[in-house]
Amino acid sequence: MRLLILRWEFPLIPALFALASHLTFVFQEFYKPGPKSWETPILCVPILAYIYANIFSILVERTPASMLLASLATALPSAWLAIYFFYSRQIRRKPDPQISTLKMLGYALAGLALIAIAAYGLAEISACTDAKCRRGAELFGHLEFGRYYLICLVGGMIGMSSLLLLHDALRRFFKSASK
């Protein structure tokens, strides 16, 4: 725990993005009048990306598996929260879906495969030492943090969408199978 506290990063752009997402989430859920929506868990992705990028860049050696794990650790809680909000707020679904269940399943699996490819690519990028990289380190944090932050942010968004598509495809499949 002490190691995390001593080496915690506060790069400008990720920290401000996480703070803005947190404040928007709080406003949307607690102070906004009227009906609530299920889309606010999208705001959890930048917050979790900032937290997991710090944790993984400090405690875990960079491998494709660790980057994929960081991305899925960002996507899973956000997707679960979206599903919870979707059912707890009793949002009605369209009666005539515009996309077939098989195509939806294909899109979900393609999104998860894209995250795996991106994690492998980010894990294998070599270090950069020129002046542009030093300027980027001031804005986005050191290279290890930046790699994990990028895969957590982008992979978390794609992963959350893919998991929601997978959930809906499986829901439709089991609903039609039970009839």
Percent of the chain beyond pLDDT 70? 86
Kindly report the average pLDDT of the chain as a whole number.
Answer: 85
Q: What pLDDT is stored for residue 132 in this prediction?
A: 67
pLDDT tens-place string over residues 91-132: 766 665 788 888 999 999 999 999 999 999 988 887 776 766
Q: What is the DSSP string of the chain?
A: -HHHHHH----HHHHHHHHHHHHHHHIIIII--S---S-GGGGHHHHHHHHHHHHHHHHS---HHHHHHHHHHHHHHHHHHHHHHHHHTTPPPPSS-SS-HHHHHHHHHHHHHHHHHHHHHHHHPPP--SHHHHHHHHHH-SHHHHHHHHHHHHHHHHHHHHHHHHHHHHHHHHHHH--
Read off the pTM.
Answer: 0.85
pLDDT tens-place string over residues 120-174: 998 888 777 676 677 767 777 778 888 899 999 999 999 999 999 999 889 888 8
